[in-house]
Chain A
C-alpha cells in the first residue's frame, strides 16, 4: 500500500518555537510507518519554511544548517497538492498537514487560514476556533457569556497604557486585591505568566508583558490552588473528554520551566520529551470523582461551544479554599498532543493511534468542507 505523505509542521515565529520542535519530532517518531510517510516541515523563527530528512535529527537544531535543506512554501492556490519547492520549482506532495505549532503564527489561526486557502486538509481546530482559543480574554468572555465558570479579569491595552501609566496602575490596584496574576493574552506554555504581590511588581509585570504581547490580562491569584487539566478529542463523531491530570508546579503557578525544563525531584522532566516530560499525576485516585466529572463536563462544553476539533487541552484552576472550579484556558494544539492523557483514558489511544485518528478526522473534515457549495445561481453579470 502506498504510504500517505503527511507534512508535520513545527517551529514557527513564536516564543514557543523550541517546544513546537519537540512536539513535531515526537509526532514524526510516533507516526505509524506502515500507513504514513511523515515529511518534516520546519518553520524558522523568521518565518521561512524548510523540508528535508535532516530535520528528523535532533542534533540539527543545535547548528541549524539551513543550507542543507530544501526551502519550500505553501501557495494559497487550491489543489496544489503539497508544498512548492523554491529551488527545484516542483511540488513536494503532501496529503494532509499535521500541525505541531505552538503559540503565535501557528496555533492562533494564520497557518490554518493559509491551509484553508490552499484547500489542504490539516489536523486540529479550524481558523476561527484556533484564533478564539489562543486569545485568553476572548475565550473567557465567550465562556462567561454561556454561563461557564471563569475568573474575573481585566484586559489591559498597551496603547492605552502609554500615557498616565502610574494613574492607570493605581486604578487597577484600587479595583483588585493582591496577589494578582499578570499574563499575555495570546501566548501559551505559561510564557510570561507572573504572580505579583504589590503595586510596583504589577507595574513592572505589565511593562514586561508588553514586550511579548499588545494586551495583558490581570486576574486574581487563587491561593491555595490546585491545577487540573483535561483533554478533549473529537472521536467517532462526538467530543470525548480524557482522564484528569494534576500538573505539578515548582512554585505557586506552573511555569514554562515546569512544563519543559524542570529537573530533579521524584518525577524528572526531560527537555527532550516536550510537554510529555513535565511532572504530573495522571488520573489521581485520591481526587474527588465529582470534581473530576465536573472538569470533564466543563471541558466538553467549552470544546463544543468554541467549535473545536482534533485534540484540545482545557486547563482548570481549582480554588481549594472555596471549592470552586474555574476554566482557565484552552490549548488548541497542546504540547505533545496530550497523548500521555489519552494513553490512560477511555477509549485508550496510544500516540500512534491518536495521530492516526487526528489525520483521519482532518481528511474527512476536509472532504466534507469541499462538498459545500460555493456558488449560487446568479444572473448578476448577465445583464451588464
Chain B
C-alpha cells in the first residue's frame, strides 16, 4: 500500500514539475497577469488530457490489482519526462527569473498542501485517490494562475525597494533622460537615438531590445547605468492608462518622443482615444523647459504635440505640413546584394542627402525622428547622415537578409496595420522575380482585427505571387485571398514549403511572428 502511494506521489511530483513550467511560460508571456492567463487557458482550452486519462485508467487498474497501478504511475512518469521543456523550446523561452521562481514555488506549495491533504484523507481508498488525481492534473493551471494575486503584496514591496535603488542611482548619475513611446516604431527609434547620441555626443545608455516596463527599466538602471553616462534613452510602453506616467516618475524625461498612436493592443485599451491619452502621458511627463518631438504624419501624435507644447516642440515626418524635419525616400539601390534606401532630409533649411540600409517609409520616418532629436540636442547633422549610412535595422524590423540569392525581409515583431501595409509596399518595390509573403496575420486589434486582416489579405493578394499563411488565428479573415493562400500548420511547415518554392532572385516577406500564446499548443 505504501509503495503505490509513494510511487503515485513521486509521479505526481514529477508531472507537476514539468507541466507547471509549461503553464508558467504562458503566464510569463501574459505579463504575470493571472486573469489574462486564466482567459488564455479557457479560450485555448489548454486543459490537461494525458495526465487525467492515465489517472482514470490508474483508478480502474488499481481496483483490479494494486500492482497494476504501478504501470499507471510509470506511464505518468514517462509522460512527465517527455513534456516539452519551455526553458529550451518555444519562440519565447521561459526565463526563470526571481519572480518566476517565486510564483512557481507558490503554485507548488498550493499543490503540495492539497495533495498531502488528499493523501491523508484517502490513504485507505487508493482507487479514489487515483481518480482524484485527474482533478489535480486539471488544477495545475489554477495554482499557477492564483500565484500572482497571492504574491501581489510581496511583489509590490520588492518592486518598491528596487525602484528606490534605481532612483538613488539616477540621482547620482543625473543623465539627460529621453523617453520614447508610440504604438509602433519606438524600439527602432530608441536604437537609432541611442546610437546617434553615443557616437555624436557622448556616453549613452539605451535600454536593450524591447525592455519598456517599470521593472525592466528599473533593472536596466540598476545594472547598466554607469557614473559616466550622459544620456539615458528609455523606451516606454503603455499597457494601460497610467503606465507611462509611472515610468515618467522613475525616469523624468527632459526629451520626449512620440512615434505613433496606432491601434496595437486595442483589445487592452478599448478605444483609440484611450490609447492617445495613454501616450500623451509622456508629453505631460516632459519638463516644461524640455523638448517634445512628435511624428507629424500621425494625427494622434500631432494632436499631443499641440495639446502639450514644451519650450521646443518639433514635428518630423514624410508628407504633412509644418514639419521641422522632413524625410523623403528617393529610391532603392542595391549594395552588396542588399537593398538600400536613398533619401533626402530637410532640416533647418538645409537638404541633406544620403543612403541607409533602413527600408520603407516607416523606417525612414523613425530615422527622421531620431535625427531631429539628436540634432536638437547638439549633434552635427552631417555626422548623423554618415551614421545613418551604417545603421542596420533592428532585428526583425524589416531587416533584409540574403540567402542563396533570395532576399528575406524579416519583419517578425508583433505587426500592426500600418507597418504591415508599409512592409508589403516595400516588397512590391524590390526588383525581384517573384514575391512571397509568410504571415499568421495580425493580433490584439480588438474589434477591428477581422476587418484589418481582411484588408491586408486583399492588399497582399494583389502584390504577392503566393501567401504562406501560418496557423488558424486569423484564417477566416484571410479567406479573401484564397486563390493565393498556402495554408501551413505552423512556422516550421511554412518554412519548409517556402524553401521548396523559392528560387534565386525571389523575395519573401516574413511578417509577424506570434508569441507562443497564439501558436498551436503542444499536446497537454
Distance A15 CA – B92 CA, assembled complex (angstroms): 27
Q: Say yes or no: is B289 at the interface (Cβ < 8 Å to chain A).
A: no
Q: Are A204 and B386 in contact (CB under 8 A)?
A: yes
Q: Which residues of A contact B150 (CB under 8 A)?
A: none
Q: Say yes or no: is A206 at the interface (Cβ < 8 Å to chain B).
A: yes
Q: Are B382 and A203 in contact (CB under 8 A)?
A: yes
Instruction: Give per-residue flags for A153-185: 1 if the beta carbon is below 8 A from chain B beta carbons, else 0.
Output: 000001001111110010000000000000000
Q: Which residues of A contact B387 (CB under 8 A)?
A: 207
Q: Which residues of A contact B105 (CB under 8 A)?
A: none
Q: Say yes or no: is A69 at the interface (Cβ < 8 Å to chain B).
A: no
Q: Say yes or no: is A210 at the interface (Cβ < 8 Å to chain B).
A: yes
Q: Which residues of B contact A208 (CB under 8 A)?
A: 389-390
A252 to chain B, nearest CB (A): 14
B338 to chain A, nearest CB (A): 15
Distance A208 CA – B382 CA, assembled complex (angstroms): 14
Q: Say yes or no: is A211 at the interface (Cβ < 8 Å to chain B).
A: yes
Q: Are B380 and A203 in contact (CB under 8 A)?
A: no
Q: Are A204 and B200 in contact (CB under 8 A)?
A: no
Instruction: Give per-residue flags for B365-397: 1 if the beta carbon is below 8 A from chain A beta carbons, else 0.
Output: 000000000000001101101110110000000
Chain A residues within 8 Å of B, Cβ to Cβ? 158, 161-166, 169, 200, 203-204, 206-208, 210-211
Q: Which residues of B contact A204 (CB under 8 A)?
A: 354-355, 386, 389-390
Give the residue of B199, B355, B379 whose beta carbon is less than 8 angstroms from that of A158: B199
Which residue of chain B is the closest to A159 with respect to CB atoms?
Answer: B202
Distance A204 CA – B199 CA, assembled complex (angstroms): 13
Q: Are B386 and A206 in contact (CB under 8 A)?
A: yes
Q: Which residues of A contact B199 (CB under 8 A)?
A: 158, 162, 207, 210-211
Distance A161 CA – B386 CA, assembled complex (angstroms): 11
Distance A210 CA – B196 CA, assembled complex (angstroms): 11
A-B contacts, 16 listed (Cβ < 8 Å):
A161-B383, A162-B199, A162-B200, A165-B382, A166-B382, A166-B383, A203-B382, A203-B386, A203-B389, A204-B354, A204-B386, A204-B389, A206-B386, A207-B199, A207-B386, A207-B390
**By DSSP majority rule, is chain B's interface helix, strand, loop, or mixed?**
helix
Q: Say yes or no: is B119 at the interface (Cβ < 8 Å to chain A).
A: no
Give residues 203-262 of B contacting A (CB, 8 Å).
none
Q: Are B380 and A165 in contact (CB under 8 A)?
A: yes
Residue of B195, B200, B201, B390 with most chain A CB atoms under a 10 A cut-off: B390
Known: A207-B199, A210-B199, A211-B199. A165 touches B383 (CB 8 A): yes
Closest 3 CB pairs of A and B: A207-B386, A208-B390, A165-B383
Known: A158-B199, A162-B201. A211 touches B390 (CB 8 A): yes
Q: Which residues of A contact B385 (CB under 8 A)?
A: 203
Q: Are A163 and B380 in contact (CB under 8 A)?
A: yes
Residue of B355, B385, B386 with most chain A CB atoms under a 10 A cut-off: B386
Known: A210-B199, A211-B199. A164 touches B390 (CB 8 A): no
Q: Which residues of B contact A165 (CB under 8 A)?
A: 380, 382-383, 386
B344 to chain A, nearest CB (A): 14
Given A165-B383, A203-B389, A211-B390, 6 more A-B residue pairs with CB atoms under 8 Å apart are A162-B199, A162-B201, A162-B379, A200-B354, A204-B389, A208-B389
B243 to chain A, nearest CB (A): 30
A354 to chain B, nearest CB (A): 37
Distance A166 CA – B355 CA, assembled complex (angstroms): 16
B119 to chain A, nearest CB (A): 34
A337 to chain B, nearest CB (A): 31
A311 to chain B, nearest CB (A): 34
B408 to chain A, nearest CB (A): 19
Which residue of chain B is the closest to A164 with respect to CB atoms?
Answer: B380
Q: Which residues of B contact A169 (CB under 8 A)?
A: 382, 386
B234 to chain A, nearest CB (A): 22
Distance A164 CA – B355 CA, assembled complex (angstroms): 20
Which residue of chain A is the closest to B200 with respect to CB atoms?
Answer: A162
Distance A165 CA – B390 CA, assembled complex (angstroms): 16
Which residue of chain A is the closest to B383 with respect to CB atoms?
Answer: A165
A271 to chain B, nearest CB (A): 16
B363 to chain A, nearest CB (A): 18
Distance A208 CA – B383 CA, assembled complex (angstroms): 11
Q: Are A162 and B389 in contact (CB under 8 A)?
A: no
Which residue of chain B is the closest to A211 with respect to CB atoms?
Answer: B390
Q: Which residues of A contact B200 (CB under 8 A)?
A: 162
Q: Which residues of A contact B383 (CB under 8 A)?
A: 161-162, 165-166, 207
B371 to chain A, nearest CB (A): 13
A125 to chain B, nearest CB (A): 31
